[in-house]
Amino acid sequence: MKLPKYDINKYDPKRMMAIPAVLFGLALVIVGITFALTGMPVTPGIDFAGGTAVTIHTDDTKEEIVAFYSGYDLKSIDEGIGSGGYYLKFGPMSNEDMMKFNNYTLSKYPEASIDQIGANFGATLQSQAMWAILFAFIGMAVVVFLAFRKVIPAITVVSAGIADITITAAVMNLVGIELSLATTAALLMLIGYSVDSNILLTTKVLKRQGKLEEKMEGAFRTGIIMTTTTLAAIVAMFIVAFIGQVPTLYSIAAVLIIGLISDIIFTWGFNAGVLRLYLSGSEKSQAMPKQSKKDNAGAKQ
């Protein structure tokens, strides 16, 4: 089985850039709407919005549990916490309502585990998560600029990372994956994956000798093997988490799958298109002085 080849001459670079650019524009709209509604680019989960989490072990069905908590703001109920286990999430409550809720829950499920995250603590976690992502991008940008010392390629690598995170955040909003400590960690991991694939492409194209077509083909072969191998492992984790009903691993795997697919589109579409235009412009600018020298020599003769 032969690996797919990246035929750089087959597509116009501007067309290569068009689809990723449109996806990024749509993602910005979705993220902007979510930010206007929730104050965060992704719908915050209990970790950031505050609320109450309850773990219970019971033979009751999900419908019976939902009926029991009909008077409370039950956000979600997940299965798989051990045998007959359920993990319930509720919206924020006042201290008085929380006391009543605890008594109400323990009256039927005396061994239930109840954890509350206050709105103020959730806001603190929000701030820390945003700062973590911001510092990750700043660190990435500094390393990229030091590595290449060329403005356009460096900006393209950083832009690809921003686009990957933005598109992933938009898809998370569409499919209902909330922002939690676990998914924040997954987003930070995506920054590393994005930078890795884009630096691979940029390094092979800028710092190696040979024809552009050959360098692009070699970079694509190496990059696609790296990304698809990682993607396959994460898909396996996603399937195991889905079957075993492990919400945290399921969310992390889902975010990484979305992000890696986005990274493939943006790296080998937008970034490759930008580099092709950039190198074509550089070759023309280098050829012009040579041509002018020949013309001057002919004029003297």
pLDDT of 29 reads 96
Average pLDDT over residues 15-24: 88
Residue at 223 is within a domain: yes
pLDDT at res. 133: 76
Q: How far apart are CA 89 and CA 54, in angstroms?
A: 7
In a domain, 99, yes or no: yes
223, 280: one domain = yes
Domain range for 94: 51-117
Residue 77 DSSP code: E
On whether both 212 and 264 belong to a single domain, the answer is yes
Reported as a pLDDT band with limits 50, 70 and 90, residue 4 is low
What is the C-alpha end-to-end distance of the chain, expressed in Å? 60
Whether 78 is in a domain gets the answer yes
Query: To which residue do tokens 């945290």 refer?
Result: 248
Q: What is the pLDDT of residues 192-212, one digit of tens each?
A: 888 888 888 888 887 777 777
pLDDT at 168: 93
3-class DSSP state for residue 116? strand
Mean pLDDT computed over 105-127 = 78
Distance CA 272, CA 205 (A): 9
Total tally of structural domains belonging to the chain? 2
Work out the average pLDDT over 123-148. Answer: 76
Per-chain mean pLDDT for the chain? 80
And the tokens for 13?
A: 């670079």
Q: What pLDDT is stored for residue 153 in this prediction?
A: 78
Same domain membership, residue 104 and residue 79: yes
Considering the domain architecture, whether residues 137 and 253 belong to the same structural domain is answered as yes
* Least confident span in 25-34, 76-85, 125-134, 289-298: 289-298
The mean per-residue pLDDT over the stretch 257-280 comes to 86
Mean pLDDT value across residues 157-183: 89
Structural contact between residues 149 and 235, judged by C-beta atoms closer than 8 angstroms: no
Residues 30 and 55 in one domain: no
Task: Say if residue 84 is in the same domain as residue 24.
Answer: no
Phi, psi of 41, rounded to the nearest 5 degrees = -65, -25
pLDDT tens per residue across span 238-264: 998 888 777 788 889 999 999 999 999
Q: Say yes or no to pLDDT of 150 above 80.
A: no
pLDDT confidence of residue 172 = 93
Query: Highest-confidence range of 20-24, 109-113, 125-129, 182-186, by mean pLDDT?
Result: 20-24
Asked if pLDDT for residue 125 goes beyond 80, the answer is no
Residue, of 109 and 217, whose pLDDT is higher: 109
Helix (H, G, I), strand (E, B) or coil at 87: strand
**CATH number, domain with residue 253:** 1.20.1640.10
Last residue of some domain: 72, 95, 117?
117
Same domain membership, residue 126 and residue 36? yes
pLDDT given at position 9? 61
pLDDT of residue 2: 57
Q: 259: alpha, beta or left, given left = phi > 0 and alpha = psi -120 to 50?
A: alpha
17 domain residue, yes or no:
yes
pLDDT class of 298 with cuts at 50, 70, 90: low
CA 282, 284, 287, 288: dihedral to nearest 10 degrees?
Answer: -110
Whether the per-residue pLDDT at 66 is higher than 50: the answer is yes
Instruction: With respect to residue 8, please indicate whether it lies within any of the assigned structural domains.
Output: no
> Bigger pLDDT: 37 or 139?
37
Is the pTM above the cut of 0.85?
no
Domain boundary among 97, 117, 137: 117
Question: Would you place residue 81 in the very low, low, confident or very high pLDDT band (cuts 50, 70, 90)?
Answer: very low
Q: What is the pLDDT of residue 296?
A: 53
Q: What's CA 20's distance to the chain center, in Å?
A: 15
Distance CA 236, CA 233 (A): 5
